[in-house]
Amino acid sequence: MEFFFVTIVFVLFIQSGVGIDEKAIISLVGESHPEFRQNFRKGCRDFFIEDERSFERWDDHRVKLLKHEFMRFKNALVLWAMHPWERDARLIKEALIKGPQAYGVIVEVACTRSSDELLGARKAYHSLFDHSIEEDVASHVDNSERKLLVALVSAYRYEGPKVKDDTAKSEAKKLAHAIKNADKKNLVEDDEVISILSTRSKLHLKAVCKHYKEICGKNIDEDLAADMILLAAVHCLCIPQTYFSKILDASLTNNADKKIKKGLTRVIVTQADRNMKEIIEEYQKLYGVSLSQKIEVTANGNYKDLLLTLIARGN
């Protein structure tokens, strides 16, 4: 009975995919003995392989998964302890190394931080890597998204309350025209689109999106659904709480891959002292469950406790 219980618990620790209950595992280690561990290995065929000589060894893929789970708590603590400017600089560097599938993180940092925060990240990047963010984005990104990404990371937006409504309406028409003719010119390379998204204040862009809906009869994100980078930019600039809620929900799915799951740590750590209250409210609105409840049933151990502590700070 003890063997069966421990096996089930251990399997759940690994398969849950979002954190390990380290204290429980330490307790089990203290109570086990060699014969028990041998029975455990035989009972966990998902994690141990027996070769033609009846030698029992770990499945290397499962070991990698287990190591990754143990790393979550450490990585979250390291990320939390960093100065926000260094944190953002390192997030951008990591995204550039990983390539196109991670470019959304660059958009996230460029479009959800304040002008001074983004400037700070650029300063930190200089100190850490002896290059500018703009320089590295331009040299690493070799597809059609390069011009937009360089413009976004270079931005220093006006953050005051003034919005010229006539200009916002005019720019909504320009975006509508560009989207309508996207088959003739790639939206992500359109100078007019890039200029509007990379230079205008966030309040101004919200007004642009309002006028776009009045002109076209639907939200701009519906027309940008096929272009993930532009869609991410619009969401991050105009409705960041919705953007972050969707990242969190995707990362809290047990069968999500590890790249998506990293979003859980990134969003909660970077937003704990900024917009967490708005994110919590939006998550509840979108998914009908509180973010803390979702983490309670999905995450494990010290990692779960850290996430819930950071959420409470911003609530």
pLDDT tens digit string along 26-47? 565 555 566 666 666 666 666 6
| DSSP classification of residue 53 | T
Backbone angles phi, psi at 278, to 5 degrees: -65, -40
What's the pLDDT at 65?
65
Q: What domains can you pick out in the chain, each with its CATH number?
A: 2-58 (no CATH), 84-236 (1.10.220.10), 242-314 (1.10.220.10)
User: Tens digit of pLDDT for each residue in 272-287?
Assistant: 989 999 999 999 999 9
Model pLDDT, residue 7 = 45
Encoded amino acid at 7, one letter:
T
Query: End-to-end alpha-carbon separation of the chain, Å?
Result: 43
Q: Tell me the pLDDT tens digit for each residue of 71-101.
A: 788 888 889 889 999 999 999 999 999 999 9
What's the helix, strand, coil split of the chain in %, to 5?
75, 0, 25
Q: From CA 200, how far away is CA 216, in angstroms rounded?
A: 21
Question: What one-character-per-residue DSSP string does 113-158 give?
Answer: S-HHHHHHHHHHHHHHHSS-HHHHHHHH--STTHHHHHHHHT----
Q: Per-residue pLDDT for 161 more than 80?
A: yes
Quote the crossing angle between the two packed helices 2-15 and 34-43, to the nearest 10°. 60
Cα gap 152→111, rounded to integer Å: 7
Burial 217-229 (b: 16+ CB within 10 A, else e): eeebbebbeebeb
Cβ-based neighbours of 99, under 8 Å, separated by 6 or more: none
- The pLDDT of residue 19 is 59
159 residue type, one letter: E
pLDDT band for position 165 (cuts 50, 70, 90)? very high
DSSP 172-228: HHHHHHHHHTTTTS-GGG-HHHHHHHHHS-HHHHHHHHHHHHHHHSS-HHHHTTT-H
Query: Is pLDDT at 55 greater than 80 in this prediction?
Result: no
Q: What is the DSSP letter of 46?
A: T
Cα 197 from Cα 74, distance rounded (Å):
36
Kindly report the average pLDDT of the chain as a whole number. 86
Q: What is the pLDDT of residues 106-155, one digit of tens each?
A: 999 999 999 999 999 999 999 999 999 999 999 999 999 999 999 999 99
d(CA 13, CA 165): 54
